Structure 1
Amino acid sequence: MRLLKDSFFTVLPIFALFTNTGAQKCDRIKIGNEYYKRQLIASIDGYPTGIVVDPRNDNIFFVLHKRNYTRGIHLLKHGALGIKEIPIGDDMIGQCIAVDVPSNVIYFGTNQGLVTFDASRDIVAAERPIGDDDIRSIFIDKTDNQMYISTGPNHEIFKFVNGSYAVRRYERVMKAYSFLLDSQANAFYEFIDGRIYFFATDYYEPIQYKGFSRELKYILRLNHLDEAVVAVKGSLFKLTTKSMLPVKIGQLGFKITGIAYDAKNNIIVGTKGKIYRYKPIVSSDPCPADDYFMATI
């Protein structure tokens, strides 16, 4: 194994994967109503959070942590030989990532505001941050391309106004660690009391989900079916507005630190030291090939 050297990036190792599928039966895991094959796509020194997949090219962005400090935002390019750290400035700490596909913009949230990333040149394009807020999370609503952010130690939610950089407070959800909206504008979020809530469009107040022990830093994502999914410890749960009881849909067997759904219905999952891809198994392809990143080398 070798480390790539780059004048702009710190490169971390990624291991080659060699498999011989042949006629052997795949190791399968059921998540929801589908079976998936797990593939190791990266080994890292630390653990990844805030995983985001760029649907245009399958590149993976994440925030890398090691022990009690953040090592910054990293990029795992599809087909690349290594993981690269993206420098965003000596005084800024990268905390979250979002890909705005219609506007062709990649945003990084930092402790000093938003910056944009130029993927064609692998550099931060904006010379100055947009605003000066401490941005903790970003959510882009795919139905209307509106962007929401949570800021500061109180995790207050703001919405950008009409595609500009002016913001106003999002009144339906005042504060949240993590936040998302489905295509029906139903809100799902982790409030600062460490509990999960939903606020349906036809309700007048939020409803708390039952069955979760109080747990900080749940991971909330929308899957490819526009369903809210929460990851906590090693389990996955589906959330709906029809019941205050979450539905367990999977048990992965390790602590989940990050999760993302790509455009091909794959699930990208991070844990300590590793990033996995879970690929759906279909009857016509019962043992999908390990065709990701270093698999063919």
Structure 2
Amino acid sequence: MIPLLILIVVSSVYANNCSYIYDEIHYTRNSILTIKGLPTNLAYNPKNNDVLFTLIDLESLHDDNVQTRMDQYVLRNGEPILIDNVRGQAAAVDVKNDKVYIASDDGIGILNASDKVQFANLKDEDVVQLFKPVHSDDLYAVTYPNNEIYVVDTIKNEKRRVEYVPCAFILAVDAEDNVFYECDSKYVKVLLNDFQEPIEFVGIAKNSARALTVDESNRVILAANDGLYWLKPDNIVPKKVMNLDFVPSGIVFNEDVIYIATNGMIYKYSNNCV
């Protein structure tokens, strides 16, 4: 009778651990960070397994009389490390050239081995978002206050504005240089490469988009209030690939591992169910 009880308990734990489904595949979930504030703008560095994130102070966010406080962190070996020589607002990893870019209110810097930021591009610009495609040397940056997107050539140190995108609060760029974005907390759109008119995705509620990223298969994934969606450049109807029981604030992939942030927490979803 004891072996049967053990089997039942083990089966129950296994079922609970593998109850998270992403794109019809079962995942386990565990928390890798608990912290006061809202972690967002996740980035992953496969060279050293660092998870980078921006931490927003919610009290300052809700106080119209003060500037919102944001700090940039590196999550390394389970410990959050503050990058304390800039007012960091986003991060992006250049895997090809082994660089980590940090967006700040004074331009874009590169994170050195001592976890300090050294200036690189867009000096004196207030940069609030970054995205680094894996297929090129371009770095996409969003500047405040107009939230315009610029493409920075990291080799030539030149920049150009992305035309036909009025503004972007979140963005991602796929391997075909299609720009996915959300503007003014409204609807998610894609500007196809060499086109002039953005296309709006349907079925996603207004004000529900929270984060965009590209997975290992070059699929653009949107984290929205009710779950994750696969945004296809040739189909205005997104495919829902995961339900969430919380409101996400950031997302990034590492092969078959998914990191998703929410208020006070970063979760790690692992595809280790057999």
Same fold (TM over 0.5): yes
- Per-residue Cα deviation, 1:71-130 (whole angstroms, up to 9, x for no partner): 4001110x24x31211024xxx21110111222221111111112211x22222x26875
How many residues of Structure 1 are paired with residues of Structure 2 in the alignment?
A: 255
Match of 2:106 among 107, 112, 120: 112
Q: Does 1:121 align with 2:114?
A: yes
Following TM superposition, by how much is the alpha carbon of 1:217 offset from its aligned partner in structure 2, in angstroms?
5.4
Following TM superposition, by how much is the alpha carbon of 1:155 offset from its aligned partner in structure 2, in angstroms?
0.9
Following TM superposition, by how much is the alpha carbon of 1:204 offset from its aligned partner in structure 2, in angstroms?
5.0
Runs of 4+ off more than 3 Å:
21-24, 127-130, 201-204
The letter for the 1-side match of 2:97 is S
Q: Does 1:83 align with 2:85?
A: no
Q: Does 1:33 align with 2:24?
A: yes
Check whether the contact 1:186–1:200 (CA below 8 A) recurs between aligned residues: yes
The letter for the 2-side match of 1:252 is L
3-state DSSP of counterpart to 1:25: helix
Check whether the contact 1:63–1:72 (CA below 8 A) recurs between aligned residues: yes
| Structure 1 portions without partners, runs of 5+ | 1-20, 284-297
Check whether the contact 1:130–1:165 (CA below 8 A) recurs between aligned residues: no
- Per-residue Cα deviation, 1:209-237 (whole angstroms, up to 9, x for no partner): 11222216531111122111111114111
The match for 2:242 is 250
The letter for the 1-side match of 2:84 is P
Percent of aligned pairs sharing the same letter: 25
1-structure distance, mates of 2:203, 2:138? 32
- Per-residue Cα deviation, 1:4-37 (whole angstroms, up to 9, x for no partner): xxxxxxxxxxxxxxxxx96642422111121110
Following TM superposition, by how much is the alpha carbon of 1:257 offset from its aligned partner in structure 2, in angstroms?
1.1
Check whether the contact 1:177–1:217 (CA below 8 A) recurs between aligned residues: no
1:112 to 1:261, Cα distance in 2 relative to 1, 3 A: same
TM-score (norm 1): 0.79
The alignment yields a C-alpha RMSD, in angstroms, of 2.2
Superposed counterparts of 1:117-156, under 5 Å: 117-118=111-112, 120-124=113-117, 126=118, 130-156=122-148
The letter for the 2-side match of 1:51 is L
Q: Does 1:98 align with 2:98?
A: no
The letter for the 2-side match of 1:99 is V
Q: Which has the higher helix share?
A: 2
The match for 2:198 is 206
Following TM superposition, by how much is the alpha carbon of 1:57 offset from its aligned partner in structure 2, in angstroms?
1.2
Q: Does 1:62 align with 2:59?
A: no
Match of 1:53 among 44, 51, 58: 44
- Relative contact order higher in (CA < 8 Å, ≥ 6 apart): 1
Check whether the contact 2:110–2:120 (CA below 8 A) recurs between aligned residues: no
| Structure 2 portions without partners, runs of 5+ | 1-8, 62-67
TM-score (norm 2): 0.85
2-structure distance, mates of 1:103, 1:60? 18
Q: Which has the higher strand share?
A: 2
